[in-house]
Structure 1
Amino acid sequence: MSTHIHTSQSQDDYLEAILKITNENGFCRSIDLANHLGYATSSVSIAVGKLIKAALIRRGHAGELLLTEAGQHIAESVYEKHEFFSNWLSAIGVSKEIAEADACRIEHAISDTSFEKLKVHICQF
């Protein structure tokens, strides 16, 4: 992708959740998203509207939530960071619960450039 779209932590979380749910179920509906994130359906409806307006997701023919190319790119990037940090922290002895929580914070704080450099460095060992 040639341009970088700035998204909020909340938008990143929604996009990552849509990716995860779609990968698990083959589709993602708003109710699935609400259940996964533990949010009220009204809150999810507002967020979904904003993601559609930002062209990060769209609705399919059956009303399912589909990531656009831009949304897919962001979701995959956030998911990769989350998995990398969660696995790495677990590997160095951090409990799964803390590793997951810390990975969720780190995935939003680290730039793509720093992440790529860190990943190369850590993977050398």
Structure 2
Amino acid sequence: MLSDQAQAVRIPLVSAIDPTILNLQLGLDLPDDLGDLNTTSATELDISAAYREKRDLAGQAAQVVLDHRDCFNDLYTDQASRIQRSPAQVSEVVMPSPAHCRDGWPSTSIGRQGACSDHGGVVPGNLWATLLFT
């Protein structure tokens, strides 16, 4: 059983041009046909599909560990059991959002005193995509 606190998983929003992420994903030698990385952004479907794919792969690895328990210590078998019990699919993705006025107005004054005072106040931005599971 998953605890109530484990029902939401948060993923940090990273810039597509962050060199650390590019090196991690693509290696140090970047291909010539990447296109405009500034316009690359993940959608709810992309994030759901990525979670499902990673969960499927982790589930396959966990099954190998569980099938051969005598070859692994308790730390690995416990982790494999947790992976097997984790949700296979995301029910909803709440995407990151910038700070904005409560009525939806995209003020350029956010961060200064009085910003959005005529628009119901400031709603803080969300820098994380949140995955929800049922």
TM-score bracket for this pair, using the shorter chain length: 0.3 to 0.5
Structure 1 length-normalised TM: 0.34
Structure 2 length-normalised TM: 0.32
Higher relative contact order (CA 8 A, sep 6+): 2
The structure in which a higher percent of residues are strand is 2
